[in-house]
Amino acid sequence: MNQNNCLKIITAIENTEYLKKISDNIAEITNVSLLASLRNTSDIVTLCSELSPDILICDLSNQDSKMSTTIKDICHCKNRHSVRIIATASSKEGEQLISDSIQNGADIFMENLDNPDILKSTLRIIGRQKDGSINSKDKIYIKADEILHQLKLPVHFSGYHYMKAAIINTALRETKLPEFSCKMCERIAKEFNTNPRHVERAITKAVRHVNSVCPKDYIFDTILGYSVNGYNYSLNAKELIALIADQLRLKYISL
């Protein structure tokens, strides 16, 4: 990231421990400046207007779940600076507002932003977007998140994160053939420090959840962008991973 394009951040997180971890991690990242830290929602809209941050990191668990409405207020503010909104959650109650926050204008939802590696990689992607130097892998990462949110897959499911890893892995593979094999589960298990059997079970559970809560035509329309008659059709894990990965490859990678 160019030194002249230092990322300016405001955090709005009520949970003291979560806020401290994120603030400490931000302090360790170069070319990033923390402008303000809030524990409530009352001054966020005004601060975003006055300080013009590049990023607002906000906790959906704040103040009896009012943060999602505040996101909407920021996005509809006439004097709104082009702030990128990262929604996170310090509780299961906050996680239930993921869909609302995205619909109200949040750019992405990220879990475990107190993890320095996850926070750094997220800010790096946004920094490259600001510089205009975002690459295909970044775009695939962001779009995979968006699709999984639209498919109503809860982010607290371990299968959510394993699914995303499988989709990105498949989209970036040199071979165009889809894969949901023992070898892929082993690679993902190594990445997340778990065992392949757990990865396989979690992904299968995640796909079962998507099939149960989303109409089949909605699934196809969300991924493909056009309607397909999916009556009485359930996608298995390999099919769902391949379908999403193929669309991401077609959109973001030169063939």
> Over the chain (255 residues), what is each successive 10-residue block's mean pLDDT?
69 87 88 84 82 88 76 74 82 75 79 77 73 69 85 82 89 69 86 89 93 89 81 80 90 69
| In the chain, where the domains are located | 3-134, 137-252
The top-level CATH class assigned to 3-134 is alpha beta
CB 148 within 8 A of CB 139: no
CA-to-CA distance for 139 and 144, rounded, in angstroms? 8
Q: Which residue's structure tokens are 């996850």? A: 118
pTM reported for the whole predicted model? 0.62
Going by C-alpha positions, the residue among 92, 84, 88 that lies closest to residue 128 is 84
Distance CA 148, CA 145 (A): 5
**Same fold for the domain at 3-134 and the one at 137-252?**
no
Q: How far apart are CA 23 and CA 62, in angstroms?
A: 17
Query: Distance (Å, rounded) from C-alpha 164 to C-alpha 154?
Result: 12
User: Which pair of tokens denotes residue 168?
Assistant: 């990105």
CATH number assigned to the domain with residue range 137-252, chosen from the 4 options 1.10.10.10, 2.60.120.20, 3.40.50.1980, 1.20.1250.20: 1.10.10.10
User: 206 near 162, Cβ under 8 Å?
Assistant: yes
Dist CA 141 CA 41 (whole Å): 29
Site of tokens 């929604």 = 87
